[in-house]
Amino acid sequence: MDDDYKMMHLGIKKGDVGRYVFLPGSVERATLISEYFDHPRKIAHNREFLTYSGTLDGVLVSVTSTGIGGPSTTIAIEELFQCGADTMIRVGSCASTSPIARIGDVMIPNGSVRMEGTGVHYLPMEFPAVPDFFLLKELEQAAIRLNFRYNVGINICKDSFYTEVSPETKPVYYELKAKWEAYEKGGATHTCMECAPLFLAGASLGIRTAAVLICATNYKSYSNDDADYPRGFEHNAIKTGIEAMRSVIHKDRQKEQAN
């Protein structure tokens, strides 16, 4: 690929982004994350994909919003990878599926239920959707250092928001209900729409991926009221991701110098 070639969807080219990338869903969160960088600059914005680059500890880093769900998330991953990115941390939000997970908790998935369709285009259903273990541990250590209430647990990744919040309105309600109850009984603590394809696409490309999410609900309770979910909570997930990425950069640098 020519170095001047711009990616079809992200509108970026080689040299625009670093090897270390944050992947929020929303463009608004991409802007928030960029404010934690040194010298952030907007690179491109096309459709749901907004990209900024800057530095952390003198190293080029980037953030790209992915939109909602697996198809757009994997488009972002593929095009970032083609431009040199190999370490990606999703920073997003999730809902509780267990009394263990409460509003404002930092959630770090150690695996994801494949209740989605994009992942099967990358790896067979028997292959587990799990994050890179090194990144997972770095995120956990970051949450500990920052003294945030956190949970490392199983994520349920689904393809449809409204089949979760109002499954009884759907013709396949019986199947949705039975599967969801089984996942909860298996110990799943939270749900979102991007983690499984993130982990599976990362595995298929041979790159490091992981996720840190802020819990937006209590168990079996949903509200879009700011009184219940102060927007400042999302900064705890962002800070955890930034802290972890700084550590990853430092350890990668040490390894490179040792070699």
Q: For each of the domains in the chain, give its residue range(s) and CATH number, in order of start.
A: 20-258 (3.40.50.1580)
Over residues 201-210, the pLDDT tens digits come to 999 999 999 9
Supply the pLDDT for residue 235: 95
Supply the pLDDT for residue 222: 63
For residue 73, the tally of other CB atoms under 10 A from its CB is 27
Q: Global pTM?
A: 0.95
pLDDT 10s per residue in the chain (259 long)? 677 899 999 999 999 999 999 999 999 999 999 999 999 999 999 999 999 999 999 999 999 999 999 999 999 999 999 999 999 999 999 999 999 999 999 999 999 999 999 999 999 999 999 999 999 999 999 999 999 999 999 999 999 998 888 889 999 999 999 999 999 999 999 999 999 999 999 999 999 999 999 999 999 876 555 555 556 889 999 999 999 999 999 999 999 999 8
Supply the pLDDT for residue 229: 57
Over residues 163-178, the pLDDT tens digits come to 888 889 999 999 999 9
Supply the pLDDT for residue 224: 57
Supply the pLDDT for residue 143: 98
Supply the pLDDT for residue 4: 82
